[in-house]
Amino acid sequence: MNSVKTDVPCSLDAQLLIDSVELPEFEAHDKQQTKYTTCYMCACRCGIKVTVEDNQVRFIQGNPNHPINKGVLCAKGNSGIMKQNSPAKLSAPMLRKPGTERGAGEFEIISWARALDILEKRLAQIRATDPKKLAYFTGRDQMQALTGMWASQFGTLNWAAHGGFCSVNMAAGGLYTMGHAFWEFGDPDWDNTKYFVMWGVAEDHSSNPIKIGLKKLKERGAKFVSVNPVRTGYQAIADEWISIRPGTDGLLALSMVHVLLRHQLVDEEFLIRYTNSPQLVVNTPGVKGDGLFYRRAGEIQIWDQTTDSFADARRTDVAPALFGEFKAPDGTPLRTAMSILLHKYLDDAYAPENAAKECGVDAETIERLALEMAQVAFRETITLDIEWTDWAGRKQDKFIGRPVSMHAMRGISAHSNGFQTCRAIHLLQILLGTIDCPGGHLAKPPFPKHVPPGIKPAKECAPNTPLKSPPLGFPTCPEDLVIDAAGNPLRIDKAYSWDAPISCHGLMHMVISNAAKGDPYKIDTLMLFMANMAWNSSMNSAQTLEMLCAREDDGEYKIPFIVCSDAFHSEMVAYSDLILPDTTYLERYDTISMLDRPISEPHAACDSVRIPVIQPDRDVLSWQEVMIEMAGRLKFPAFTTPEGERRYEGYKDFIVNFQKQPGIGFLAGYRGADGSKSLRGEPNPRQWEAYEENEGFFEFQLEPNQRYMRHANRDYMELAKEAGWVGSTDQILIELYSEKLQTFRLAGQGLYDGPMPTEEHHKERLVKYFDPLPFFYMPLEEQRIDRDEYPFHAVNQRPMFMYHSWDSQNAWLRQIMSQNYLFMNRVAGEKAGIKELSWVWVESHNGKIRAQVKLMEGCNEQTVWTWNAIAKKGGAWGLSKDANEATDAFLMNHLISELLPAKGDQQDRITNSDPVTGQAAWYDLRVKITPAADGETGTWPLFSSHEPLPGAQASPQMLSYSSHKNVNLKRPMLDILTRGEK
């Protein structure tokens, strides 16, 4: 496991050298302590080993034993000292000064007692009257299991984290297809894969594991293909870079599917055993029931070739026909899902020659890539001679590996066709039989889950009453939508409405816009944790700032009260009424819980904790403590004893003693009274200490026979059920054909026995986009603007050294980048008469910005791009008012509308998001570029600066951080005077 960093320079005979030189003692080790915790510089959650002296950080390094990072650390993790020492740290609770404007940034420091009282009164009032008037949204937090549970207990539907504007398309695309997905849900089998395709990965999700994996590929000589309009970061070391036009990845994937099907290069055994492709689908267009599976006595049917008769699809003693058209006894025409699939993708629309026109990837390349994958999958198969038992109890003597793997992320996700594109990529993986097999795409416990996971979103809320289920879940049919009888949204973000029916992570990007409009209703309090919605985390940032300050006719703010918890002086702070200062990641207890998306690796179930390594020097309280405190004060049932007393003293107590079901809590490790039980066991009062003693994490290795084919692996499924990861040990059937999507399509067609939309545009969207098989469509913005007027795609990515982090405040990281440029292909730039480092206007349907251009080779010719979130408001994040981030850097967000481009139709007020999942369509943006006039330089628009907060430490002019006085290695004077040239 820990092979990455064990190669010490064995040739360096350290002992010999030490004998020959006299070195001073550089480090006072006896004054230093080593502590283990979990990094939080991004979402990667690496284990870190922190050396501390005198409550100062000496050194943060990767924990060599940690399953995620195996000792390595990225640029952010290595800059944790500067996060801990940021002058932007909030120092005390603050209240907007009475009589001052929201956004003016004038605050008074108040005590925690007062802050918590204010919050308690406000929340109690809301909870007792109309709980959904609390909108509680969290940013990049890693405790959604807790915050979601808190929202449920509070009784508000209006809770979500940032997934809706980040990667819900990837999560939903996988979970609605095969029960696991990319990133937190699955990984390529780095140790065995021979062919790896990376789609739209913007140097991000995830950080160190991908880097460790890519190194393994390179060492082994596996081929690495990168599909990305921009060649930076990971793409730079790819064997082949496919410069795709943004938003067309789905077409590329399906064109490869076309090639595979044309040459009959699919894993038929895999399809028959593990997917629903042989299942029979009713083929009665225009009639109720069309496109649904053919059932008898409630059981889906297949056509059994051995008996030439219908049979229950779940039976194992059958030989299902993969292709064919059949007739039910009542005459209903049927065909297998695979037949539909063949029919669909063998269509000329998906032929490489036609796909090439849209994707910008030539037909020969498409064909070649598909055939290379087929070669590796079918001719370079690997087998692991490990005996395992399938779901039906049959012994299998080996795992067959088709060593083609893929990873896809934001470049796929952040388009309005991202869900279907993600499904298209999974389809390609599935046809090649590469799911959870050696060398393929592996699931990470607690995934895979049944398709989709069996949690339905809560639909009803009532005063002083917890929700019946979590606010977020996985709808499988229109009945699961969170809408009222008239079909109107019940959530403030309009998640689970006809606008975005399967928005399983919510639509955080719509909350402020909707709340300011009072559409679908007005809220009372917006509570944000670790989310910079007043700046780079919102689309249309400039207008979002106005929305945050918008008032009713009576002078009341349209969003009456805004609470924000953050550790740092983000742009959002100035737009809040009550500020609750959070601790830094080195100052807090935290759990990266198995109930959430833990840190598991494919072959090990893992979770981890944060344990304070530094004592805060400010009047701060971690948000999780505030959550537990409020839950106690508001007497949430799960936080209150039958006698009406507070059940938990605080966060640590809650984590140890809360049980979701008997024996299952937030942490899966070191359970049982004596800490000897794993995954399930009664609470262990010493659980925190056990984690501390075990370097802050828990790792449960799967047995070799539980490591692959887990969707159909009995030994694994039994473990998963025991651990509470799945509800049953039934096979997790991969759904190439999604009947669940078809139910929505039928609702759009008016052919559904259940809720159906009344508005025409909703019907059209359902019919078009809820295709039960993945398909390609042009992203919505592109459909609604003039493509000739806005000829360029505009996308953005976070640089590796700032990915998923808050780090323009970081004195080291901001030196690497404090200004972003608009990057453009050199040839395209030269054609357009745009010169290196010239200033240009970038204009979209939503507005314009001024930016400075850099020309480059590794960029698709129809694409411009930039590094995201480099721009900051002056004065925020501890930065000076004239910081480069405030004067030269720019946000692309101003160009992106949270609504679809206006055309004067009903869709004008619909979210600029994926019509299936509500995923924010950041990368649909199209722009035109015109040179700025002479003298027009500097970024535009410019924003007013923030004033320092009360109690803020001044940002120094010179920084010389050191945890101790340096021990200089002196050169002897004799040596100086006597040494010659060499």
Partner 1 sequence: MHPAFSVLIFTVTSGAGYGLFALMVLAQLAGLNALQDSTLLLSGAVLALLMITIGLLSSTLHLANPKNAWRSFARFRTSWLSREAVFAVLFYPVALLYLFGIYAQGSELSSLYSACGVVAALLAMVTLFCTSMIYASLKTIRQWCTALTPLNYLSMGLMSGALCLATLQALLQDGLSPVLRSAGLGLIALGAVVKLIYLFWIGKPAGATIKTATGFTQASVRLLDAGHSAGTFLTNEFGYTVAANKLLRLRFAMVALAFVVPFLLLMQGHAAATVLAALLALAGLLVERWLFFAEARHVVRLYHGDQRT
Partner 2 sequence: MAKLGLVVDLDTCVGCHGCATACKQWNTSGTIGPLSDKDPYGRDPSGTWLNRVRTYEVGDTPNSKTVHMPMSCMHCEDAACVTVCPTGASYKRKEDGIVLVDQDKCMGCNLCSWACPYGARELDPQAGTMKKCTLCVDRIYDEKLPQAERQPACVLTCPTSSRVFGDFDDPNSDVSRLTRERGGQQLMPELGYNPVNTYLPPRNKKVVESYQIKPSLGATLKQWVNKVITR
Nearer to partner 1, 24 or 972 (CB): 972
Site for partner 2 in 765-824 (CB under 8 A): 800-801, 809, 811-816, 818
State the residue for tokens 């991908």: 210
Site string for partner 1, 874-913 (x = CB under 8 A): ----------x-----------------------------
Q: Please, are residues 792 and 929 in contact by the beta-carbon 8 Å criterion?
A: yes
Question: DSSP letter string over 591-636?
Answer: EE-TTS----BTTEEEEEEE---S---SS---HHHHHHHHHHHTT-
Q: Please, are residues 80 and 57 in contact by the beta-carbon 8 Å criterion?
A: yes
Is residue 743 within the footprint of partner 1 (CB under 8 A)? no
For residue 300, what are its two tokens?
């889906």
- Segment lying near partner 1 (by CB under 8 A), choices 194-202, 695-703, 810-818, 911-919: 810-818
By a kind-dependent CB cut-off of 5 to 8 A, residue 191 interacts, out of partner 2, partner 1, none, with none
Query: Rounded to the nearest whole angstrom, what is the least distance from the CB of residue 32 to partner 2 in the complex?
Result: 9
The residue from 328, 346, 386, 778 that contacts partner 2 (CB under 8 A) is 346
Nearer to partner 1, 720 or 817 (CB): 817
Site string for partner 2, 261-290 (x = CB under 8 A): -xxxx--xx--xx----x------------
The residue from 615, 641, 661, 962 that contacts partner 2 (CB under 8 A) is 962
Is residue 61 within the footprint of partner 2 (CB under 8 A)? yes
Is residue 940 within the footprint of partner 2 (CB under 8 A)? no
Closest CA to 748 of 499, 514, 582, 435: 499
Nearer to partner 1, 294 or 877 (CB): 877
Is residue 981 within the footprint of partner 1 (CB under 8 A)? yes
Is residue 817 within the footprint of partner 1 (CB under 8 A)? yes
Distance (Å, whole) CA 346 – CA 339: 11
By a kind-dependent CB cut-off of 5 to 8 A, residue 264 interacts, out of partner 1, partner 2, none, with partner 2
Q: Label residue 826 exposed, middle or buried (CB < 10 Å: 0-12, 13-18, 19+).
A: middle
Q: Taking the C-alpha atoms of 734, 737, 743 and 747 in order, what is their torsion angle to the nearest 10 degrees?
A: 150
DSSP type of residue 138: E
Is residue 979 within the footprint of partner 1 (CB under 8 A)? yes
Is residue 977 within the footprint of partner 1 (CB under 8 A)? yes
Nearer to partner 1, 830 or 905 (CB): 830
Q: Please, are residues 95 and 230 in contact by the beta-carbon 8 Å criterion?
A: no
Is residue 974 within the footprint of partner 1 (CB under 8 A)? no
The residue from 17, 128, 455, 942 that contacts partner 2 (CB under 8 A) is 17
Cβ neighbours of residue 540 closer than 8 Å, sequence gap 6 or more = 513, 846, 847, 893, 894, 896, 897, 898
Closest CA to 894 of 944, 846, 938: 846
Dihedral-angle region of residue 911 (phi above 0 means left; psi in -120 to 50 means alpha; beta otherwise):
beta
Q: What residue spans of 833-912 are helical by DSSP H?
A: 884-887
The residue from 37, 63, 144, 243 that contacts partner 2 (CB under 8 A) is 243
By a kind-dependent CB cut-off of 5 to 8 A, residue 64 interacts, out of partner 1, partner 2, none, with partner 2
Site string for partner 2, 887-926 (x = CB under 8 A): x---------------------------------------
Q: Please, are residues 724 and 680 in contact by the beta-carbon 8 Å criterion?
A: yes
Is residue 354 within the footprint of partner 2 (CB under 8 A)? no
Q: Please, are residues 115 and 629 in contact by the beta-carbon 8 Å criterion?
A: no
Is residue 26 within the footprint of partner 2 (CB under 8 A)? yes
Partnered with residue 230 across adjacent β-strands are 859
Cβ neighbours of residue 330 closer than 8 Å, sequence gap 6 or more = none
For residue 135, what are its two tokens?
């909108």
The residue from 37, 169, 232, 525 that contacts partner 2 (CB under 8 A) is 232
The H or E element containing residue 219 is helix 208-220
Query: Rounded to the nearest whole angstrom, what is the least distance from the CB of residue 339 to partner 2 in the complex?
Result: 7
- Number of residues in contact with partner 1, rule: CB under 8 A? 17
Distance (Å, whole) CA 653 – CA 979: 66
The residue from 47, 67, 87, 188 that contacts partner 2 (CB under 8 A) is 87
Distance (Å, whole) CA 124 – CA 118: 10
Distance (Å, whole) CA 615 – CA 299: 60
The residue from 767, 816, 899, 952 that contacts partner 1 (CB under 8 A) is 816
The residue from 2, 111, 815, 906 that contacts partner 1 (CB under 8 A) is 815
Distance (Å, whole) CA 278 – CA 280: 6
Q: Please, are residues 187 and 425 in contact by the beta-carbon 8 Å criterion?
A: no
Is residue 407 within the footprint of partner 2 (CB under 8 A)? no
By a kind-dependent CB cut-off of 5 to 8 A, residue 327 interacts, out of partner 2, partner 1, none, with none
Nearer to partner 1, 297 or 974 (CB): 974
Is residue 833 within the footprint of partner 2 (CB under 8 A)? no
- Segment lying near partner 2 (by CB under 8 A), choices 17-25, 163-171, 752-760, 782-790: 17-25
Site for partner 1 in 845-864 (CB under 8 A): 854, 856-858
Is residue 265 within the footprint of partner 1 (CB under 8 A)? no
Strands 697-701 and 604-610: antiparallel
By a kind-dependent CB cut-off of 5 to 8 A, residue 706 interacts, out of partner 1, partner 2, none, with none
Site string for partner 2, 185-224 (x = CB under 8 A): ----------x-------x---xx--xx-xx--x--xxxx
Distance (Å, whole) CA 346 – CA 354: 12
Nearer to partner 2, 113 or 969 (CB): 969
Is residue 837 within the footprint of partner 2 (CB under 8 A)? no
What's the distance, CA 438 to chain centroid? 25
Q: Interface with partner 1 by CB under 8 A: which residues?
A: 814-819, 854, 856-858, 884, 973, 976-977, 979-981
